[in-house]
């Protein structure tokens, strides 16, 4: 028998005792042990060691500790999703502010150059752009208030 095979077998005995080997590896070791008294004796020591370890009581965390850890994990999870919805809300609020700023350009145009200049915006396909722009602005405002409202309810524990 090759020296290498003895070494390989002995190196795997602790894993075999822990039941951590694949079926193929286990069979390979069993074949070797059947024909090698020295390794079989070594295996017997590891097997006993594994049995004794299994008899030791496994430390169990108290239900209080488990519950505290679970509550902390849930709180952390809610905090993270809260931060994310706040960021989305702020981003949408910025977009709404930006939209309103650009929209006020029309008002400024009316005030400085008269209604005729502003009316030119609505000639041809211009009115389509103005309508789309206004719709997008209102849509952004609606989404922003929905997100911020949801965040408010969550922070108050209402949702
Ligand atoms: Zn051997």
Q: Assign 3-class secondary structure to the chain.
A: CCHHHHHHHHHHHHHHHCCCCCHHHHHHHHHHHHHCHHHHHHHHHHHHHHHHHHHCCCCCCCHHHHHHHHHHHHHHHHHHHHHHHHHHHHHHHHHHHHHHHHHHHHHHHHHHHCHHHHHHHHCCCHHHHHHHHHHHHHHHHHHHHHHHHHHHHHHCCCC
Cα(46) to centroid(ligand 1), Å: 14
Query: How far is Cα 53 from Cα 87, in angstroms, rounded to an integer?
Result: 52
Cα(17) to centroid(ligand 1), Å: 16
Cα(151) to centroid(ligand 1), Å: 67
Cα(13) to centroid(ligand 1), Å: 11
* pLDDT tens column, 100-138: 777 777 777 788 888 777 777 777 777 787 778 778 878
Query: Which residues lie near ion ligand 1 (Cβ < 5 Å)?
Result: 6, 36, 39
Cβ atoms of 151 and 78 within 8 Å: the answer is no
Cβ atoms of 11 and 34 within 8 Å: the answer is no
Cα(33) to centroid(ligand 1), Å: 7
Q: What is the pTM of this model?
A: 0.38
* pLDDT tens column, 68-96: 999 999 888 888 877 777 777 778 877 77
Structure confidence at residue 43 as a pLDDT band (50, 70, 90): very high
* Average pLDDT over every residue of 41-59: 90
């Amino acid at each position: 028998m090759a020296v290498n095979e003895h070494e390989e077998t002995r190196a795997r005995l602790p894993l075999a005792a822990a039941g951590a080997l694949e079926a193929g590896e286990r069979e390979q070791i069993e074949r070797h042990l059947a024909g090698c008294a020295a390794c079989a004796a070594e295996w017997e020591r590891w097997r006993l060691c594994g049995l004794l370890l299994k008899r030791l009581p496994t430390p169990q965390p108290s239900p209080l500790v488990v519950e505290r850890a679970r509550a902390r994990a849930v709180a952390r999870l809610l905090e993270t999703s809260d931060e994310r919805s706040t960021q989305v809300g702020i981003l949408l609020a910025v977009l709404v502010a930006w939209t309103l700023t650009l929209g006020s350009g029309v008002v400024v145009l009316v005030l400085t150059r008269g209604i005729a200049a502003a009316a030119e915006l609505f000639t041809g396909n211009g009115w389509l752009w103005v309508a789309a722009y206004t719709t997008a602005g209102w849509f952004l405002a609606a989404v922003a208030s929905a997100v911020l409202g949801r965040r408010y309810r969550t922070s108050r524990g209402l949702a």
